[in-house]
Chains A and B, each alone.
Chain A
Amino acid sequence: MPGMAEGHILRDGLRDAAKLPSPSGELECDVAIFGSGVAGMTAAWRLAKAGRRNILVIAGPEPDGNAAGASMAGQACPSGAHYLPLPSMESRHVREMLADVGVIISDPFGHRPEFDERILVHAQQERLLRAGKWHEDLLPDEASTTQERSEHQRFLRYVEQLKTATGNDGKRAFAIPIALSSQDAQWRALDRLNFRDWLTREGYRSAPLHWYANYACRDDYGTSYEHTSAYAGLHYFASRAGEARNAEPGAVLTWPDGLQGMMRALRSKIGFGAHLDNSTAPRQMTGFAASIQIRNKAVDALVVQPASGTASLRTLRVRARHAICAMPLHVAAHVVEDMRGYGFDPATHLPQSAPWMIANFLMRRFPEERAAAQLAWDNVIYEGKGLGYVVATHQLIRVAKPEHAVFTAYNALSDRSPQDSRRWLETASPAQLLERAAGDMHLAYEQLWPYVERVDITLRGHAMASPAPGYLNNKGLLALREVDGPLQFAHSDMSGYSVFEEAAWWGEMAARRLL
Chain B
Amino acid sequence: MRDRVLILSVFVVASCGLAYELIAGALASYLLGDTVLQFSSIIGCYLFAMGVGSHLSRYVKDEDALARFIDVELLVGIVGGLSATILFSIFAWASTPFRTVLYALVFLIGVLVGMEIPLVMRVLYGRKAELREMVSRVLTFDYLGALAVSLLFPLVLAPRLGMSRTALVFGLLNAGVALFTAQVFGKELHGKRGIRLRGTAVAVVLIAGLAFSSQLTHWAEQSVFGDQIIHAETTPYQRMVVTRWQDDLRLYLNGNLQFSTRDEHRYHEALVHPAMQSLPGARSVLVLGGGDGLAVRELLKYPKLEHITLVDLDPAMTKLFSTSETLTAINQHSLTNPRVKVINADAGQWLETDTGSYDAIIIDLPDPSNFALGKLYSVPMYRLVSKHLAEHGYVVVQSTSPYFAPHAFWCVVATLKEAGFYTWPYHANVPSFGEWGYVLAGKHDSFTQPDHYDVPLRFLDASSTREMFHFPSDMVAPEVEPNRLNNQSLVHYFEQDWHRVIR
* Chain A residues close to B by CB (< 8 Å): 116-118, 120-125, 246-248, 251, 374, 396-401
Q: Using a CB-CB cutoff of 8 Å, which residues 484-501 of chain B contact chain A?
A: 484-488, 491
Shortest Cβ gap from B310 to chain A (Å): 16
Assess whether B349 is in contact with A398, with CB atoms less than 8 Å apart. yes
CB neighbours of B381 from chain A (8 A): 397
Assess whether B372 is in contact with A399, with CB atoms less than 8 Å apart. yes
For A399, give its contact among B373, B378, B384 (CB under 8 Å): B373
For B237, give its contact among A374, A397, A400 (CB under 8 Å): A400
Contact A122 to B488, CB < 8 A, known contacts A117-B379, A397-B380 = yes
CB neighbours of B486 from chain A (8 A): 117, 120-123, 125, 246-248, 251
Kindly state the separation between the CA atoms of A374 and B384 in the bound complex, as whole angstroms.
26
CB neighbours of A116 from chain B (8 A): 380
Nearest B-chain residue to A247, judged by Cβ? B486
Interface string of B322-349 (1 = CB under 8 A from A): 0000000000000000000000001111
Interface string of B124-158 (1 = CB under 8 A from A): 00000000000000000000000000000000000
Nearest A-chain residue to B492, judged by Cβ? A123
For A397, give its contact among B375, B484, B487 (CB under 8 Å): B375
Contact A399 to B380, CB < 8 A, known contacts A117-B485, A123-B485 = no
Shortest Cβ gap from B142 to chain A (Å): 45
Confirm or deny: B449 has a beta carbon within 8 angstroms of a beta carbon on chain A.
no
- The majority secondary structure among interface residues of chain B is helix
Shortest Cβ gap from A401 to chain B (Å): 8
Confirm or deny: B397 has a beta carbon within 8 angstroms of a beta carbon on chain A.
no
Confirm or deny: B105 has a beta carbon within 8 angstroms of a beta carbon on chain A.
no
Interface size class of B (residues with CB under 8 A): 20 to 34
Assess whether B371 is in contact with A397, with CB atoms less than 8 Å apart. no
A120-B484, A374-B370 known; 19 new pairs, CB 8 Å cut-off, are A117-B485, A121-B486, A122-B486, A123-B374, A123-B487, A124-B371, A246-B379, A246-B484, A246-B486, A247-B487, A396-B348, A397-B380, A397-B381, A398-B346, A398-B348, A398-B375, A399-B372, A399-B375, A400-B236
CB neighbours of B376 from chain A (8 A): 397, 399
A-B contacts, 23 of them at CB < 8 A, read A117-B378, A117-B380, A120-B484, A120-B485, A122-B375, A122-B486, A123-B485, A123-B487, A124-B371, A124-B488, A246-B418, A248-B486, A251-B486, A374-B370, A397-B375, A397-B376, A397-B381, A399-B237, A399-B313, A399-B346, A400-B236, A400-B237, A400-B313
Nearest A-chain residue to B351, judged by Cβ? A397
CB neighbours of B313 from chain A (8 A): 399-400
Contact A122 to B348, CB < 8 A, known contacts A246-B486, A397-B376, A399-B313 = no
CB neighbours of A374 from chain B (8 A): 370-371
Shortest Cβ gap from B90 to chain A (Å): 14
Shortest Cβ gap from A419 to chain B (Å): 41
Assess whether B371 is in contact with A400, with CB atoms less than 8 Å apart. no
Assess whether B370 is in contact with A396, with CB atoms less than 8 Å apart. no
Shortest Cβ gap from A364 to chain B (Å): 13
Kindly state the separation between the CA atoms of A248 and B485 in the bound complex, as whole angstroms.
11
Assess whether A398 is in contact with B372, with CB atoms less than 8 Å apart. yes
Kindly state the separation between the CA atoms of A398 and B346 in the bound complex, as whole angstroms.
6
Q: Using a CB-CB cutoff of 8 Å, which residues 291-347 of chain B contact chain A?
A: 313, 346-347
CB neighbours of B487 from chain A (8 A): 123, 247-248
For B378, give its contact among A125, A248, A397 (CB under 8 Å): A397
Shortest Cβ gap from B93 to chain A (Å): 9
CB neighbours of A251 from chain B (8 A): 486
Nearest A-chain residue to B373, judged by Cβ? A399
Nearest B-chain residue to A365, judged by Cβ? B236
Contact A122 to B371, CB < 8 A, known contacts A117-B378, A247-B486, A251-B486 = yes
CB neighbours of B352 from chain A (8 A): 397
Kindly state the separation between the CA atoms of A398 and B384 in the bound complex, as whole angstroms.
13
Nearest B-chain residue to A115, judged by Cβ? B486
Kindly state the separation between the CA atoms of A397 and B345 in the bound complex, as whole angstroms.
12
Assess whether B347 is in contact with A399, with CB atoms less than 8 Å apart. yes
Kindly state the separation between the CA atoms of A209 and B226 in the bound complex, as whole angstroms.
52
Task: Please give me the 9 A-B residue pairs with the lowest Cβ-Cβ distance, nearest first.
Answer: A397-B348, A123-B488, A247-B486, A122-B485, A120-B486, A117-B380, A397-B375, A117-B485, A398-B346
Q: Using a CB-CB cutoff of 8 Å, which residues 449-500 of chain B contact chain A?
A: 484-488, 491
Shortest Cβ gap from B319 to chain A (Å): 17
Kindly state the separation between the CA atoms of A350 and B313 in the bound complex, as whole angstroms.
56
CB neighbours of B346 from chain A (8 A): 398-400
Kindly state the separation between the CA atoms of A397 and B348 in the bound complex, as whole angstroms.
6
Kindly state the separation between the CA atoms of A125 and B488 in the bound complex, as whole angstroms.
11
CB neighbours of B348 from chain A (8 A): 396-399
Contact A118 to B237, CB < 8 A, known contacts A123-B371, A399-B372 = no
Kindly state the separation between the CA atoms of A374 and B381 in the bound complex, as whole angstroms.
21
Residue of A116, A399, A400, A401 contacting most chain B CB atoms (<10 Å): A399
CB neighbours of B384 from chain A (8 A): 397
CB neighbours of A122 from chain B (8 A): 371, 375, 485-486, 488
Contact A118 to B375, CB < 8 A, known contacts A123-B491, A399-B347 = no
CB neighbours of B380 from chain A (8 A): 116-118, 397
Interface string of B377-401 (1 = CB under 8 A from A): 0111100100000000000000000
Kindly state the separation between the CA atoms of A374 and B378 in the bound complex, as whole angstroms.
18
Kindly state the separation between the CA atoms of A400 and B314 in the bound complex, as whole angstroms.
10
Q: Using a CB-CB cutoff of 8 Å, which residues 5-40 of chain B contact chain A?
A: none
